[in-house]
Amino acid sequence: MKEFFKYYVPYYKNYKLKIFFALIGIILVSGGSAGLAYIVKPLLDEVFIAKDQEMLYLVPIFLILAQTAQGFGKYIQVYYTSYIGQDIIRIVRDKLLAHILTLDIEFFQKKHGGELISRITNDINRIQTAVSNLIADFIRESLTVFALIFVVIYQSAELAFYGLVVLPLAIYPLAILAKKMKKLSFRSQESASDITSHLSEVFNNVEIIKANSTEKTELSKFETHNKNFFRINIKAVKTSELTSPIMEFLGAIAAAIVILYGGTQVISGELTAGAFMSFIAALFMLYTPLKRISSVYNKLQDAIAAHERILTVYDINPTILSGKEKMPTDIEKIKFENVELKYENFTALKNINLEASKGEKFALVGDSGGGKSSLINLLIRFYDISSGKILFDKKEIKNINIQDLRKQISIVTQRVYIFNDSIASNVSYGHKLDEEKVIKALKQAHAYDFVKQLPEGINTQLDEFGTNLSGGQRQRIAIARALYKNPQILILDEATSALDNESESIISEVIDEVSKNRFVFVIAHRLSTIKNADKIAVFKKGEIVCIDKEENLLNNCKEYQRLYNLANI
Ligand X SMILES: Nc1ncnc2c1ncn2[C@@H]1O[C@H](COP(=O)(O)OP(=O)(O)OP(=O)(O)O)[C@@H](O)[C@H]1O
What is the smallest separation between the CB atom of 347 and ligand X, expressed in angstroms? Answer: 9
In three-state form (DSSP H/G/I as H, E/B as E, the rest C), the secondary structure along 222-234 is HHHHHHHHHHHHH
User: Least Å distance between CB 418 and ligand X?
Assistant: 21
Closer to ligand X by CB, 118 or 374: give it.
Answer: 374
Interacting residues with ligand X (CB under 6 A): 109, 343, 346, 348, 366, 368-374, 539
The amino acid at 502:
E
31 vs 371, beta carbon nearer ligand X: 371
Which of 105, 257 has the CB closer to ligand X?
105
477, 426 contact by CB (below 8 A): yes
DSSP 8-state class, residue 417: P
**Residues pairing with 366 in the sheet:** 539
| Cβ 466 vs Cβ 416: under 8 Å | yes
The string over 379-398, giving b where at least 16 C-beta atoms fall within 10 Å of a residue's C-beta and e elsewhere, is: bbbbbebeebebebeebebb
Closest CA to 270 of 394, 137, 159, 119: 159
**CB-nearer residue toward ligand X: 375 or 400:** 375
Closer to ligand X at the Cβ: 347 or 486? Answer: 347
d(CA 385, CA 376): 11
Strand-strand pairing, 361-366 and 387-392: unpaired
8 Å CB contact between 141 and 26: no
Comparing CB distances to ligand X, the nearer of 74 and 525 is 525
Residue 461 DSSP symbol = B
Q: How far is the CB of 563 from ligand X (least distance, A)?
A: 12
Q: How far is the CB of 552 from ligand X (least distance, A)?
A: 22
Note whether 471 and 503 are within 8 A (CB). no
Report which DSSP code applies to 499: S
Partners of 325 in beta bridges:
400
Nearer to ligand X, 35 or 542 (CB): 542
Smallest distance from the beta carbon of 23 to ligand X, in angstroms? 53
Nearest approach, Cβ of residue 521 and ligand X (Å): 12
3-state SS, 256-282, equals HHHHHHHHHHHHCCCCCHHHHHHHHHH
In angstroms, give the least distance from the CB of 109 to ligand X: 5
The CB-of-417 to ligand X minimum distance in angstroms stands at 17
Which residues share a beta bridge with 413?
Answer: 493
Specify the amino acid at residue 350: K
Nearer to ligand X (CB atom), residue 264 or residue 351: 351
CB of 367 to ligand X, least distance (A): 7
Rounded to 10 degrees, the C-alpha dihedral 232/235/241/246 comes to: -140
- The smaller minimum CB distance to ligand X, of residues 125 and 347, is found at 347
Which of 19/105 has CB closer to ligand X? 105
CB of 320 to ligand X, least distance (A): 13
Q: Give yes or no for a contact between 166 and 253, defined as CB atoms under 8 angstroms apart.
A: yes
Which residue type is seen at 491?
I
Nearest 5°: the CA angle 255, 261, 265 is 125
